[in-house]
């Protein structure tokens, strides 16, 4: 059973590239998704902004050409992150990313 989450949207914040103390490359971007969905027979506007984390050389090399406004399709898994201040947020950990525009 595949439990991947797939989201299509535009990059709404410039991607941030960093490296862990162990030398593992990371890219963090914020994805904005807008769509119309059917719910209980009614049309509903869906909107979300979510932080996307890409880890490892293969994924982060692919993100070097991505910039603000690019449309991407991301698949991965959702996880809870807690900030230093103790605030929790939902984050999408990408396992695959595709530039679609």
- pLDDT at residue number 12: 96
**Cα–chain center distance at 94:** 6
Helices (H), 1-101: 57-63
Q: pLDDT by residue (tens digit) across 32-79?
A: 999 999 999 999 999 999 999 999 988 888 788 899 999 999 999 999
Which of 27, 93, 31 has its CA nearest to residue 60?
27
Residue 1 or residue 96, greater confidence: 96
What is the C-alpha to C-alpha distance for residues 61 and 20, in angstroms, rounded to an integer? 15
The pTM score is: 0.87
């Amino acid at each position: 059973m595949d439990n991947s989450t797939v989201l299509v949207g535009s990059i709404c914040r410039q991607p941030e590239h960093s490296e862990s103390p162990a030398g593992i490359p990371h890219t963090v971007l914020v994805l904005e998704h807008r769509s119309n969905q059917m719910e209980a027979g009614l049309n509903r506007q869906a909107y979300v902004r979510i932080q996307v984390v890409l880890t490892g050389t293969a994924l982060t090399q692919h993100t070097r050409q991505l910039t603000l406004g690019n449309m991407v399709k991301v698949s991965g898994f959702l996880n809870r992150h807690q900030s230093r201040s103790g605030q929790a947020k939902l984050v999408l950990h990408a396992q695959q990313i595709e530039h679609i525009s």
